[in-house]
Structure 1
Amino acid sequence: MRGAVAAALLLAGPVAAAEARFDWFEYQGRDPAGAAAGNGEYRNPILTGFYPDPSITRVGGDYYLVTSTFAYFPGLPVFHSRDLVNWTQIGNAIDRPTQLDFSGLGLSRAVFAPDITWKDGTFYILNTCVDCGGNYVITARDPAGPWSDPVWIREVDGIDPAFFFDDDGRAYLLNNGPPDEPPRYDGHRAIWMQEFDLAAMRPIGPRKVLINGGVDILTKPVWIEGPHILKKDGWYYLVCAEGGTSVNHSQVVLRSRHVWGPYEPYAGNPILTQRHLPEDRPDPVTSAGHADLVDTPSGAWWATFLATRPYAGDFYNTGRETFLLPVTWKDGWPVILEGDAVIPQVHPRPGLPPSPAAPDGQGREAFDGGELGPHWMTLRTPRDRWHRLSEGALSLEARAEPLGGKGQPSYLGRRQQHTHAVASTRVDFDPAREGDRAGLAALQSEDFFYLLSVGRQGGRRVVQLERRAGAGDPPHGVVLASAPLPETGAVDLRIEARGGRYDFAYATRPGRWTSLVQGADGTILSTRTAGGFVGVTFGLYAYAPES
């Protein structure tokens, strides 16, 4: 498997001499005590951390899944499974700087909810690059890649495009777009459909609104989106998210005998939501929706969907995650959860041959291979080579691109996947001037992050903690604490997440940790505070101001 970050960043030109050397990176995580999965069971979520908007397709006995990544690069991770529970990342669909350009975008823009499908030996991903081109399609014969350059679908506005391939060979493109009337209220959207010519890679014929507003426009439903059509027993089922992607998120279904409708809603809608449950329930799962349904070779049905696991109220730092539940057919309608049902932490596994358990992302990475794994990401699209792997270390060029800007900084990160997590690293860096810094960040967006780094203050080499808690703070935030360091030698850095609190420590001798700050406010790293659609990443970073 090719390491997409390494392939993308190994561009022309050597890495400059002014650099920070990271000997290793280690991640350990756990979640508050809950039910453990026993024999024949699995535990939700099936993809922990910032893996939202899952789309799934089946080819024989193989399942493939993609999720959103917004302005992180590489984008659109592609996963494979044979049992719907254990997923292995096999690549990234956006792994070349020439495919898309995220330059200057906020971290929650760029690639929104993707849709993956397969037909006649070709895989298709439909997607929207928000503020960077609009709707497009990419293709691959092998889902591990390479994926093609985008073919732009300029005729279709809106977001969340998806394909439906009918039995007669026709293809249709669905998406969320503005209604065909003046909006009646904030969040008034519509689901559109148009036939699509796969050979010419363009929409054909008229577009038609399939849903205006939602299942009942009189109730002013907001953000009907994420449409998918499935066909079963002569019925066309239109499955969509409704209510927005926060606590009022839900999944609804409508059906018709004809692909163009009219579509009638299920009387028991929504078929999935947690918005009606008490806020003070133990171990809550919230914001459930944006589901995609898939069948197994034996005819069973399952749904992947996004949801969140708050540590308090609506505060969560791990982002929107991917969950799995079975679909029950009730009087000809697909139902994921009914009534007051709570999304279970543990559930019986699908009746499928088990896949090998994928690496859980925990442990130490020694940087002794030739490339980084596909789970490593940077911010926006790289245009220069600024990192290298050599002699058992990862070296980052210290460049004049701050974390708090909208450029492409020397930052490589991976997701925080647990409510309680520890990220640590060893960095060897000689800050030549005031403003030079290199270290470890907990980053939610360009406006909200903590940075624990080796830098220089008043002529002395120091370890320092900076916090950016909004766009009004300086690009590297404000210094919360600092301590002197020896002028030479590697320094170990550690960030520990404890729900809504983060601790920061350093060591000049292995294992001899000194606390720099304890109990810092971690809610600034939540979507509730920072806004947007991403979760926290822990990352390695180097910076030097312009001479």
Structure 2
Amino acid sequence: MTPPPARPAAPANPLVPGFHPDPSVTRVGDDYYLACSSFEYFPGIPLFHSHDLVNWRQIGNAVTRPGQLALEKTPLLGGAWAPTIRFRDGRFWLVVTDAMGRGSLVFTADRAEGPWSDGIVMQGVSGIDPDIAWDADGTCFVTYSGLRLDGDRAGEHLGIQQVRMDPETGRALEEPRSLWSGTGLMFPEAPHLYEIDGVWYLMIAEGGTERGHSVSIARSDRPDGPFEGCPANPVLSARSTDRPVQNTGHADLVRTPDGGWALVMLGMRPRGLTRAFSPMGRETFGTALEWVDGWPVVRPVEPGPAPQPVGYEDDFTGTELGPQWISVRTPAADWSSLTERPGRLVVHADGSTMDDPRPRFVGRRQQHQAAEFSVRMDCSGGTGGLSLRIDEHHHYDIEAAAGVVRARARVGGLRQVWEQPLPGPADEVTVRIVVEPAEGTGPDALGPDLVRLSAWTPAGPVELAVLDGRYVSAETAAAFTGRVVGVYAAEGVVAFDRFRYRGQDPAAPAPRP
């Protein structure tokens, strides 16, 4: 079996920039729909639409109501892991792991924009990264990575597992069977099962989601195996190379508009002299492939050309926040308002800070290596500001209160504060976070970038701190997420206006000699 060859084209990578890991894609006619992991953030599981697999627009989130995921008490690293999105019988299907929460879930929707169902818990699936597929007779197969997250056997990994399932009830119809689990590299995960011209392909990730991440594939004449591995496995990996896009893996396969084939997958753009730090975490990339003797030959993942600067502004004039705005474990609508003071986002504090698991914080992903965030705030009734967050243990903040402006840094168990009085009457203050990619070969270039925390007061600009960006990167935090920057309130009531973002990616670094 040899499917028709692709007509490869270089995509505009990253396809979806910023913290958008574990992408899954499905094609419905001439439309493409993509879903990503979101971990502890709400709303969860962002959804994107495209006509060409290159230009993507966020159309919503699958998780928009409390209770669809058990996020409120989700521990660090938990929440929405690795969705698979598919379309069958006039419905969209999405399977996902709510890690350390409800477990493995099945969601459905008539439209990708939603609303999505409350989610059915899969019974008989003890693992992560579920995939859903159907054979010609309509039998449903759920294939997953057998990593146990709870119980007496937590941490045990059983490799790639599969069950036949009733997707309407979530009930497994048999005991799990073990399938092909790769070439022997660690953490076989992210399975996806496809039938192509009568041949079943099982594609997985292995090697861990760090620099050793890779894609491997096997084939069979049956969806339940036995599977034969590709002689050229792994068919995609950037490990031990000088490619600017690293950690490439966790891929999904899809037909392109011109009749070829493509993979979407996660990758990271590490920076610094040793390319050790990735501020935005895992992002969504794409690449083309060809079929040779029934096996995929995948092109390396390359960054697209440096785009023009991107800018947007939110004046908070709507009645609800757009789908790009996310909060931590709790819905922002529970403690913020766009109608209390029209044209302002009003955030009510509860005494929590950015060090807490449920801060009064709502933000957007950093999507470019050079970025500037700013917001005007009325701090006459409270204390709040702008935070660049990886998690509750790794964040940089610039905040204002009546008469004072502060910069805060939290790195693990270390905390530092810089403080200056605000000159004159300064109830209205603009706070700003600027991310500058590190250049040269000096000490500042060891990290990926510098983070400048400043405020603009009636008396002019005040820069409080210039901090090393390596301490708010995915590798330092050991995080599955990337940077999210947004507004927060720590005391009283704070009103925000004119949230602005400007970002640009510099040209990709040249390969090393």
TM-score (norm 2): 0.86
Asked whether the equivalents of residues 481 and 517 of structure 1 are also in contact (C-alpha less than 8 Å), the reply is no
| 1:502-517 equivalent positions in 2, closer than 5 A | 502-509=451-458, 512-517=460-465
CA distance in 1, matches of 2:309, 2:324: 11
How many residue pairs were aligned?
463
Asked whether the equivalents of residues 426 and 457 of structure 2 are also in contact (C-alpha less than 8 Å), the reply is no
Out of 176, 182, 193, the residue aligned to residue 215 of structure 1 is 182
Superposed CA deviations along residues 477-502 of structure 1, whole A, max 9, x for unmatched, are 43134343434420011110123211
What amino acid sits opposite 2:182 in the alignment?
A: V
Identical aligned pairs, as a percentage?
A: 37
SS of residue in 1 equivalent to 2:475: helix
Superposed CA deviations along residues 283-302 of structure 1, whole A, max 9, x for unmatched, are x1100000000114653111
**Are residue 301 (structure 1) and residue 261 (structure 2) matched?**
yes
Superposed CA deviations along residues 295-330 of structure 1, whole A, max 9, x for unmatched, are 146531111000011122220111111111112101
Please state how far the C-alpha of 1:248 moved relative to its aligned partner: 0.3
SS of residue in 2 equivalent to 1:206: coil
| 1:277-296 equivalent positions in 2, closer than 5 A | 277-278=241-242, 284-296=244-256
Superposed CA deviations along residues 318-362 of structure 1, whole A, max 9, x for unmatched, are 11111111121011011223xxxx422239xxxxxxxxx9x9972
SS of residue in 2 equivalent to 1:524: helix
Identify if the C-alpha distance between structure 1 residues 496 and 178 changes in structure 2 by more than 3 Å, giving closer, same or farther: closer
**Are residue 74 (structure 1) and residue 43 (structure 2) matched?**
yes
Please state how far the C-alpha of 1:42 moved relative to its aligned partner: 4.2
Out of 375, 383, 397, the residue aligned to residue 437 of structure 1 is 383
Give the CA RMSD over aligned residues.
2.3
**Are residue 344 (structure 1) and residue 302 (structure 2) matched?**
yes
SS of residue in 1 equivalent to 2:53: coil
Out of 465, 469, 473, the residue aligned to residue 411 of structure 2 is 469
CA distance in 2, matches of 1:134, 1:98: 13
Asked whether the equivalents of residues 189 and 223 of structure 1 are also in contact (C-alpha less than 8 Å), the reply is no
CA distance in 1, matches of 2:164, 2:10: 41
Please state how far the C-alpha of 1:187 moved relative to its aligned partner: 8.2
Out of 194, 197, 201, the residue aligned to residue 237 of structure 1 is 201
Runs (5+) with no aligned partner, structure 2: 1-8, 149-154, 438-448, 494-513
Superposed CA deviations along residues 149-170 of structure 1, whole A, max 9, x for unmatched, are 0100132111001101112211
**Are residue 413 (structure 1) and residue 360 (structure 2) matched?**
no
What amino acid sits opposite 1:521 in the alignment?
A: D
SS of residue in 1 equivalent to 2:430: strand
Cross-structure match for 1:524: 471
**Are residue 324 (structure 1) and residue 286 (structure 2) matched?**
yes
Out of 52, 57, 81, the residue aligned to residue 83 of structure 1 is 52
Cross-structure match for 1:395: 346
CA distance in 1, matches of 2:203, 2:349: 48
Cross-structure match for 2:161: 192
Asked whether the equivalents of residues 262 and 288 of structure 2 are also in contact (C-alpha less than 8 Å), the reply is yes
Cross-structure match for 2:141: 172
Identify if the C-alpha distance between structure 1 residues 100 and 249 changes in structure 2 by more than 3 Å, giving closer, same or farther: same
Identify if the C-alpha distance between structure 1 residues 201 and 535 changes in structure 2 by more than 3 Å, giving closer, same or farther: same
Out of 213, 223, 227, the residue aligned to residue 249 of structure 1 is 213
CA distance in 1, matches of 2:480, 2:280: 11
Cross-structure match for 1:375: 324
Identify if the C-alpha distance between structure 1 residues 201 and 234 changes in structure 2 by more than 3 Å, giving closer, same or farther: same
Cross-structure match for 2:490: 543
For CA contacts below 8 A with separation 6 or more, give which structure has more relative contact order.
1
After superposing on structure 2, the runs of 4+ consecutive aligned residues of structure 1 that deviate more than 4 Å are 186-189
Identify if the C-alpha distance between structure 1 residues 178 and 260 changes in structure 2 by more than 3 Å, giving closer, same or farther: same
Asked whether the equivalents of residues 106 and 167 of structure 2 are also in contact (C-alpha less than 8 Å), the reply is no
Please state how far the C-alpha of 1:378 moved relative to its aligned partner: 0.2
Asked whether the equivalents of residues 494 and 504 of structure 1 are also in contact (C-alpha less than 8 Å), the reply is yes
Please state how far the C-alpha of 1:451 moved relative to its aligned partner: 1.0
CA distance in 2, matches of 1:383, 1:365: 16
Please state how far the C-alpha of 1:384 moved relative to its aligned partner: 6.8
Asked whether the equivalents of residues 187 and 223 of structure 1 are also in contact (C-alpha less than 8 Å), the reply is no
What amino acid sits opposite 2:95 in the alignment?
A: L
